[in-house]
Structure 1
């Protein structure tokens, strides 16, 4: 169902891909947009237990796209170093494919706890919990269940790892 990567020597392992997802703080979510145009939106996220969580407003083009088609993709760029004298870029990235869904009210709290712990680790849990309580009713949480993941890096980075 999902295509194999052509340049197999540049494929990242599942473990390396997960490390990128755990390390990253932003990515681009692509959903089915209006009039059959793709709609891609950059956003903050958290990876946890083979799922990716996003938060946002309760209305908008992103949610309309998910309602239209739950199948989405999400891309995280870990490295993007332009090397002028080599006419290339030393890149490392991951793309995931999966199904997105809006989380129900009773589920949102746990996802928000994971998200706030990721982005505000120096804030006491009690303070984070109060912030969640304050904004819980106004926020929409989206869960992306990963069905396929592939990571790739520049051949120059592959060579560096081999040394």
Structure 2
């Protein structure tokens, strides 16, 4: 159902390497099927836990409307993007996750998702996170992407150096 990554087999990252990039990176681009079937990509913060990527956003807007109409999405993270002008290339390392979105409505599940996001982005300020979570709980949309397919790829120069 999902296409194989093109190019040299040495450039394909293992699932563990791809998950490592997802754990390390802090943002990526969520792509949805937007209005009039135009692709819509939006930068997002996230947290990987198990086989799910968790996100938070406002409860209304283009991406939320799009995901409610069509639950299949992709999420792209670029870990490295080093331009090498003298070689007319870019040294890169990136991951794409494909899957379906589920909206989390139950308050305890929303709290848990917000806590794991706070652990990633505000680990030094967790004391204040609980108050922030309670203050914003009813006004925030939480959704997760259940990963169905994960592919990672890197520049041949990185692959050959390993």
User: What interval of TM-score do these two structures reach, taking the shorter chain for normalisation?
Assistant: over 0.9
Cα root mean square deviation, aligned: 0.9
Using the TM superposition, give the Cα deviation of residue 154 of structure 1 relative to its aligned residue in structure 2, in angstroms: 0.3
Matched, 1:149 2:150: yes
Q: Once the two structures are superposed, what CA deviation does each residue of 1:84-125 show, in whole Å capped at 9, x if it has no partner?
A: 11110000000000001211133211100100111110113x
**Where does residue 122 of structure 2 map in the other structure?**
120
Gaps of 5+ in 1: none
| Whole-angstrom CA distance in 2 between matches of 1:128 and 1:5 | 40
Using the TM superposition, give the Cα deviation of residue 50 of structure 1 relative to its aligned residue in structure 2, in angstroms: 1.4
**Where does residue 75 of structure 1 map in the other structure?**
76
Equivalences for residues 40-51 of structure 1 within 5 A: 40-51=41-52
Provide the secondary structure at the position in 2 that maps to 1:95. strand
| Whole-angstrom CA distance in 2 between matches of 1:121 and 1:6 | 38
Q: How many residues align?
A: 160
Q: Given the two structures, how large is their TM-score scaled by the length of structure 2?
A: 0.96
**Where does residue 52 of structure 1 map in the other structure?**
53
Runs of 4+ in 1 over 4 A off after TM superposition: none
Gaps of 5+ in 2: none
| Whole-angstrom CA distance in 2 between matches of 1:137 and 1:116 | 17
Q: Given the two structures, how large is their TM-score scaled by the length of structure 1?
A: 0.95
